[in-house]
Chain A
């Protein structure tokens, strides 16, 4: 069969799943605080690691993380990627930057956006702080934080962020 004989057509094949997400007790506690503009991680009673966002247990020790640890909205960029390809349905126009954010005092990072900076200036270890939506728009979501933006503080050597069991 020659190439001309092959019809080059595609069929739309959308997949749509609608369901209820139940947060669980650890995420519920976390998101209730996020609604008030607070970021509260959870600490392991054994190894003292602090998890944000918390999942309720320490994967290293296998125990419940029942210590509430209030954190600031400042931290540094642990890792980042520049997104150039648009994702259907995503309102953010490329190029934009997704980064793993390591808040001060936390031992894990989470994914969020970096804005208010030229992309070429973004670097691992850069100090950043949350830019919040207006308080009246706050919900049970990390989207209360619009994005993270650089602050005028010296870079962090990410090697120093490595977890050392106490």
Chain B
């Protein structure tokens, strides 16, 4: 048995160039993001899901009633990233957070930046900051910032 220091070790990169078919509901959600608008889907019980859900997890009905939500919301939960890694989109300290957008009953996982860890607590008000160029992806919302 060789010493572990003698073992060969090499960097490895595994990449898949997936394309995702958005489907009728998520297409509307992503199209709206390209116009700096955040949509949710509303169920017959009045519950609003954003990001848009295709089905109601309680009633199992398919959802296609699109309603506008946000761009403001409140922090439901967050995790502060003090030392961002190579793969993070934000290079300064930031938070991953669950954000319940105004008008929505579910929360969206996104990032909060341009603030300090001490600025954040559950219930903190935040609002969407948009990317300079939109690509109809969730990253069209660049991150959320503290509501002025």
**Interface presence of B20 (CB below 8 A):** yes
Whether the pair A9, B136 counts as a contact (CB closer than 8 A) is: yes
Asked if B22 contacts A9 (CB within 8 A), the reply is yes
Is the CB of B60 closer than 8 A to any CB of chain A?
A: no
By a CB distance below 8 angstroms, the chain A residues around B87 are: 16, 18
A159 at the interface (CB under 8 A from B): no
Within 8 A of A (CB), among B1-21: 1-2, 6-21
What are the residues of chain A within 8 A of B19 when measuring CB–CB? 10-13
Which residue from chain A places its CB closest to the CB of B9 in the assembled complex?
A22
Query: Which B87-135 residues have a C-beta within 8 angstroms of A?
Result: 87
Kindly provide the distance from the CB of A144 to the nearest chain B CB, expressed in whole angstroms: 14
Asked if A31 lies at the interface with its beta carbon under 8 angstroms from chain B, I say yes
Restricting to B26-44, which residues have a CB under 8 Å from any CB of A?
Answer: 27-28, 30-31
A25 engages B7 (CB within 8 Å): yes
Shortest CB–CB separation between residue A24 and chain B, in angstroms?
A: 7
- The answer, among B6, B24, B31, B86, for a CB contact under 8 Å with A5, is B24
Instruction: Render A134-160 as a binary contact track against B, CB cut-off 8 A, 1 for contact.
Output: 000000100000000000000000000
- List chain A residues, Cβ under 8 A from B16: 14-16
Residues of A within 8 A of B47 (CB): none
In the complex, the answer to whether B8 meets A23 with C-beta atoms within 8 Å is yes
User: Known contacts A7-B31, A28-B2; is A22 also within 8 Å of B15 by CB?
Assistant: no
Partner of B14 from the list A17, A29, A88 (CB cut-off 8 Å) is A17
| Bound form: Cα–Cα A21–B27 in Å | 38
Residues of A within 8 A of B20 (CB): 10-13
**A11 proximity list for chain B (CB < 8 A):** 19-20, 22, 30, 136-137
Q: Determine if B13 and A17 form an interchain contact, defined as CB atoms under 8 angstroms apart.
A: yes
| A92 contacts the other chain (CB 8 A) | no
Residues of A within 8 A of B27 (CB): 6-7, 9
Q: Kindly state the interface size class of chain A when it binds its partner.
A: 20 to 34
User: Which A residue's beta carbon lies closest to that of B18?
Assistant: A13
Rounded to whole angstroms, the CA-CA distance of A16 and B13 in the bound complex is 7
- Cross-chain contact B22 with A1 (CB below 8 angstroms): no
Residue of A nearest to B23 (CB): A6
Query: Does A21 contact B15, Cβ atoms closer than 8 Å?
Result: no
Q: How far is the CB of A7 from chain B (nearest CB, A)?
A: 4
What residues of chain B have their CB less than 8 Å away from a CB belonging to chain A? 1-2, 6-22, 24, 27-28, 30-31, 64, 86-87, 136-137
**Which A residues are closer than 8 A to B by beta carbons?**
1, 5-7, 9-25, 27-29, 31-32, 88-89, 140
Query: Could you name 24 residue pairs across A and B whose Cβ atoms are closer than 8 Å?
Result: A1-B24, A6-B27, A9-B27, A9-B31, A10-B20, A11-B19, A11-B20, A11-B30, A11-B136, A13-B18, A16-B13, A16-B15, A18-B12, A19-B14, A20-B9, A20-B12, A21-B11, A22-B9, A24-B7, A25-B7, A28-B6, A31-B8, A88-B17, A89-B17
Q: Which 3 A-B pairs have the closest CB atoms?
A: A23-B8, A13-B20, A21-B12
